[in-house]
Amino acid sequence: MLVKPSLVVADITTLDLEILRERGIKGIIFDLDNTIVAPRAIVPEERISAWLAMLQHEGFRLIVLSNNKKYDYCQLSEKALGIPVIACAAKPRRKAFRKALDMIGLTASEVAMIGDRPLTDIWVGQRMGAFTILVDPLMKEHEHKYIKWLRRLEMAFLRH
């Protein structure tokens, strides 16, 4: 199957770090909206902030790769998170992913790509050779109708 995540978790804070360590993962590339922050929220929930801080304390290199085209929003998120954010990533294209790897000084095989969208986040991670982790979106019930439609399409695609 073309787009199948390496791992699926309901909540990023429940991710077992030993799974990452066993695979030689040293860094994590996150999607922003609906993965570590609610859409348009800028600041993550306290439990997610604490989890990100713990990851950094454990030595993981972190960066965010977002398709969000609002540069100012992404800059504010970067400041709130304390993690570099690359905006306008155009996932599943690989250019911004390569930039993220350069910024954290790792290879694709040393990172996990974590996101809530199979056809953007997971696909770019797979195309680059990263370990991919699909998470449930933080705020499914308040999404635009077209995003809900895309999610149904993505899930049907994953089932086949």
**pLDDT for 92-150, tens place per residue?**
999 999 999 999 999 999 999 999 989 899 999 999 999 999 998 876 555 556 566 56
Task: Give strand pairing partners of 61.
Answer: 27
User: Per-residue confidence at 13, pLDDT binned at 50, 70, 90?
Assistant: very high
Residue 45 has pLDDT above 50, yes or no: yes
State what percent of residues in the chain have pLDDT above 90: 76
Distance CA 25, CA 108 (A): 9
Domains of the chain from N-terminus onward: 7-159 (3.40.50.1000)
Residue 156 has pLDDT above 70, yes or no: no
pLDDT score at 104: 98
pLDDT score at 1: 47
Q: Determine how many CB atoms are found less than 10 A away from the CB of residue 68.
A: 18
CB proximity list for 140: less than 8 A, separation 6 or greater:
148, 151
Predicted TM-score (pTM) of this structure: 0.88
Tell me the mean pLDDT in the region 51-66.
97
Q: From its phi and psi, is residue 50 left (phi > 0), alpha (psi between -120 and 50) or beta?
A: alpha
pLDDT score at 67: 95
